[in-house]
C-alpha cells in the first residue's frame, strides 16, 4: 500500500472519478494503489492505462525514490503477461506535460500493443528512407 494519508480525489478529474467509481471504465486490474483500465480511444488493439488511486498531476510531482512508478511498471508487466503480450512486445510510457502529449493531468502510464498506426508510419518511413539511400548509392556508383 503506497497511498499516502490525506490525499483526496480532485474535483473535475476524470481519472479520480474512474478511481472512485463515479465514471465507469473497463477495468482489467486493481489493487490498493492503482487501477488499470482500457483506454476509451485506443491507439492500438491493446491500450491500457495504469492509474494511481492518488491524484498526482504529472510524473514531475512524484517524489524522488517513490515506489509508486515502480509499482505501476510491475502492474503493467503483470497485465502484459495476463494479456499474452509480454513476449511479443508492448510499449510502456508516461506522457509528461503539454509538450509531452499529456492531456489528462492525473498521472498514468500507457500499455500499448498490437497494430499501431503511429508506429507503422514511423517504421515504414525509416524503411523507405533506407531503401532510397541504397538506390541513390547504386545510381551514383553506376555514374562513376
Ligand atoms: P495522455 O495523453 O497521456 O494524458 O492520455 C490520456 C488518455 O486517456 C488518452 O489516451 C485518452 O484516450 C484516455 N481517456 C480519456 N478519457 C477516458 C475515459 N473516460 N476512459 C478511458 N480512457 C480515457
Ligand atoms: Zn485525479
> pLDDT 10s per residue in the chain (144 long)?
565 544 667 789 999 999 999 999 999 999 999 999 999 999 999 999 999 999 999 999 999 999 999 999 999 999 999 999 999 999 999 999 999 999 999 999 999 999 766 667 777 888 888 999 888 888 777 655
Backbone dihedral angles phi then psi of residue 66, each to the nearest 5 degrees: -65, 135
Give the other-Cβ count within 10 Å of 28's Cβ.
Answer: 19
* Cell output for 113: 500493443
**Domain with 25 in it:** 14-113
In a domain, 9, yes or no: no
Instruction: For residue 37, give every residue at least 6 positions away whose Cβ sits within 8 Å of its Cβ, in sequence order, or none.
Output: 18, 25, 26, 27, 28, 48, 49, 51
Domain-embedded: residue 64: yes
Report the distance separating Cα 71 and Cα 77, nearest Å.
Answer: 10
Task: Determine, yes or no, domain membership for 6.
Answer: no
Quick check: CB of 94 below 6 Å from ligand 1?
no
Give the position of cell 488511486: 53
Q: Establish whether 108 is a catalytic residue.
A: yes
Does residue 5 sit within a domain? no
Alpha carbon nearest to ligand 1 atom 12, residue: 41
Closest CA to 24 of 34, 12, 14: 14
- 70 and 103 both lie in a single domain: yes
Are 134 and 106 in a shared domain? no
pLDDT at residue 137, rounded to an integer:
87
The predicted pLDDT at position 117 comes to 60
Q: 28 and 56 in one domain?
A: yes
- Ligand 1 pocket check for 136: Cβ under 6 Å: no
Question: Is 76 strand, coil or helix?
Answer: helix
Please name the residue whose Cα sits nearest to atom 3 of ligand 1. 102
Query: Residue 55: nearest ligand to its CA?
Result: 2
Tell me the whole-structure pTM to 2 decimals: 0.81
pLDDT at 17: 97
Catalytic one of 47, 108, 110, 123: 108
Amino acid at each position: 500500500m503506497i497511498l499516502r494519508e490525506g490525499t483526496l480525489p480532485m474535483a473535475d478529474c476524470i481519472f479520480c472519478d474512474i478511481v472512485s467509481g463515479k465514471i465507469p471504465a473497463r477495468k482489467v486490474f486493481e489493487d490498493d494503489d492503482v487501477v488499470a483500465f482500457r483506454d476509451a480511444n485506443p491507439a492500438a488493439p491493446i491500450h491500457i492505462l495504469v492509474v494511481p488511486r492518488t491524484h498526482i498531476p504529472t510524473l514531475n510531482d512524484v517524489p524522488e525514490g517513490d515506489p509508486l512508478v515502480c509499482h505501476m511498471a510491475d502492474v503493467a508487466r503483470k497485465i502484459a503477461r495476463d494479456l499474452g503480450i509480454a513476449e511479443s512486445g508492448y510499449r510502456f510510457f508516461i506522457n509528461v506535460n503539454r509538450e509531452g502529449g499529456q492531456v489528462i493531468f492525473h498521472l498514468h502510464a500507457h500499455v500499448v500493443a498490437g497494430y499501431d498506426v503511429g508506429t507503422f508510419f514511423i517504421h515504414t518511413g525509416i524503411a523507405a528512407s533506407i531503401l532510397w539511400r541504397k538506390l541513390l548509392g547504386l545510381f551514383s556508383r553506376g555514374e562513376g
